[in-house]
A and B are shown apart, each in its own frame.
Chain A
Amino acid sequence: MQMKRFQGPLERVNDYCWRIPKSYKPGMRVDGLIYANEQLIERICEDPAPEQVANVAFLPGVQMASLAMPDIHWGYGFPIGGVCATDPLQGGVISPGGVGYDINCGVRLVRTNLSANDVQPQIELLIQQLFDNVPTGVGRGGKYKFSPQQLRALMESGPRGLISRGLATARDIDFTEGQGCLQDADPECVSPRALQRGYDQCGSLGAGNHFMEVQVVDQVFDQAAADVMGIKPGMVCVMIHSGSRGLGYQVCDDALRSLRGVPAAYGIELPDRQLVCAPVESPAGSEYLGAMRAAANFAWCNRQLLMWQAREVFESVFARSWQELDMQLVYDVAHNIAKPEDHLIDGKSKRVWVHRKGATRAFPPHHPDLPTDYASIGQPVLIPGDMGRASWVLVGQQGSMEKTFGSACHGAGRVLSRHAAVRLSKGRHIDEELRQQGVVAKARSRKGLAEEQPDAYKDVDLVVDVVDKANLAKKVAKLRPLGVIKG
């Protein structure tokens, strides 16, 4: 299949929202709604992503609408940037494709008390040290090796289990979404193959769009919220983007295989095999959920260990302990996950399974799931942009609860295929170009860097603007990159 422009109907709801009516395809149970402005929607329709929004509307038990965030792009099955909620009491399903292969891929932000002036003279050394010490790239494992038994324990506890090993603090756990642990994880549902793929990968970055980036706070838009998070202009931060590595990929792969016959057994008709699903309340559904939760907890351990290694490198480069450098976790968010959450639907509170495939939870102030310190400001929403321009910190707003099951965007969203990005970089040196812009970039693969160049992504400012104007999340701070390591 080639990249085909979306030809279906699209109705303007308002300046920031577009509807694909459920009359578009027989089988759609609800409308599709895409959050975007006029400029972005034009781009979004250039590939089949809106078709995928319509396809998700086929899922049994789907509530309100199949949603897409402004960073939506063509995925496999679900669009990247897709959100949907299903009600188990109405035959609602769980779909592994709605979580993705990289279960609990997500982002964390760590602050420091260093200024750009402190770091700039050392930036080459710092990035080199991060590159040498943090495992990156295809098939690379890390320095932490866990036996199957230890892995199983971590998959049940999440990073809390790393405290006793001196690799996490209680504060780190408090500032991780859901304290870094999905309840009822069942490591017994994780296959030996997944354990084999994961045993040496906890604490490794991986490749593709994963990264560890040293950034500086460029601009603050909400002083009060920034104060609560302890960030201010000129401050250096570290942003980490990774997920559950081979373990999570294998859990998803195993589930898609074992669910092959399930939709037919329950009389569920789907327009795409990648949307394969099982009723939440079914043996097949429970088995996937047990394994998915375990992989999600593994991913939080992975990001915890990546942060720990970043702390160690900063300690060695700046000759101070990480506590002296105030390298505290601002927050950690998942953007590929499914969770049971309470939402008001048609005036009734319902416990639904919210699938976020390339979308970030964005709970508003005073939501019970927030850390106490953030109760007054709302949940931090961390939006990596691209390695040349910017990344953002936002906080969740009430509008997200009313419109998007408490969700916002997760990034800038790709605009060029990897193929097109490589073609565009022919005869250029992306690392040199970035250096000219003041960003030191180190990657194992030259092609990988070309594929991830800034031009491959939408302008994150436009994406964030839509989320802000639609009242899903509010701008707090804009960060710009100083240096990045990639696979």
Chain B
Amino acid sequence: MFTIFPHTADAGLRVEAEDVETLFADAGRGLFSLLVSNVDDVQPNVRREITVDGDDLEYLFFDWLSELLFIFEDQHLLFSQFDVSLQKGGLRGVASGEQIDRDRHRLEHEIKAITYHDLKVKRTDQGWIAEVIVDI
């Protein structure tokens, strides 16, 4: 589950999930909900496999979102479904979506980058929580 929280110039993304894989997957969806207002209408027709190396969970989270953002800009792909598995030394993820269709997809924000400011990925009593601020 993700929510967008206020930041003066930019936007904050808060994600809560029972396990860390769902946390990463929901964060992907949160990111794309900022890019396109009708993310539910993005069809999962195209798949991209993504691997990110590293052991620090916060940097992995950051790099995962940055990677998704880069593919969006470079290949003009929108994603709506995410499947993530964490292993020792990194993560493997699959993002599914489709090419931008400006008639169907309501593009909203240009996200310049994911930022490190107040970035957190933490275990809670209920599961996991992550917060990140994106530069708009």
Task: List A residues at the B interface (Cβ < 8 Å).
Answer: 1-3, 47, 49, 73-77, 80, 100-102, 137-139, 193, 196-197, 206-208, 246, 249-250, 252-253, 256-257, 260, 272-274, 276, 414-420, 444-445, 447-448, 487
> B18: CB under 8 A from chain A?
no
Q: Total A-B residue pairs with C-beta atoms closer than 8 Å?
A: 112
In the assembly, what is the distance between CA of A77 and CA of B114, in Å? 12
Contacts A138-B107, A208-B136, A260-B59 known; A73 to B112 CB distance under 8 Å?
A: no
Contacts A73-B8, A76-B10, A419-B11 known; A249 to B109 CB distance under 8 Å?
A: no
Q: Which residues of A sit under 8 angstroms from B66, Cβ to Cβ? A: 253
B107 adjacent to A414 (CB under 8 Å): no
In the assembly, what is the distance between CA of A249 and CA of B134, in Å? 12
A274 adjacent to B116 (CB under 8 Å): yes
Task: List B residues at the A interface (Cβ < 8 Å).
Answer: 4-12, 35, 37, 59, 63, 66, 70, 72-74, 76, 100, 106-110, 112-119, 131, 133, 135-136
Contacts A101-B112, A139-B110, A447-B108 known; A76 to B35 CB distance under 8 Å?
A: no
B73 adjacent to A448 (CB under 8 Å): no
B9 adjacent to A73 (CB under 8 Å): yes
Q: 17 extra interchain contacts, Cβ-Cβ under 8 A, other than A76-B115, A77-B117, A447-B37?
A: A2-B6, A3-B7, A77-B115, A101-B113, A139-B107, A193-B70, A208-B110, A208-B112, A272-B118, A273-B119, A274-B116, A414-B8, A419-B5, A419-B11, A420-B6, A444-B107, A445-B106
B116 adjacent to A256 (CB under 8 Å): yes
CB-nearest residue of chain B to A205: B110
B133 adjacent to A76 (CB under 8 Å): yes
Q: Which residues of B sit under 8 angstroms from A274, Cβ to Cβ? A: 115-117
In the assembly, what is the distance between CA of A2 and CA of B66, in Å? 23
| From B63, B100, B108, B114, contact of A445 by CB (8 A) | B108
A139 adjacent to B100 (CB under 8 Å): yes
The 8 closest A-B CB pairs, nearest first, are: A76-B117, A207-B110, A417-B6, A273-B116, A76-B115, A419-B6, A74-B8, A1-B118
**Which of B5, B116, B119 lies at the interface centre, i.e. has the most chain A CB atoms within 10 A of its CB?**
B116
A196 adjacent to B107 (CB under 8 Å): no
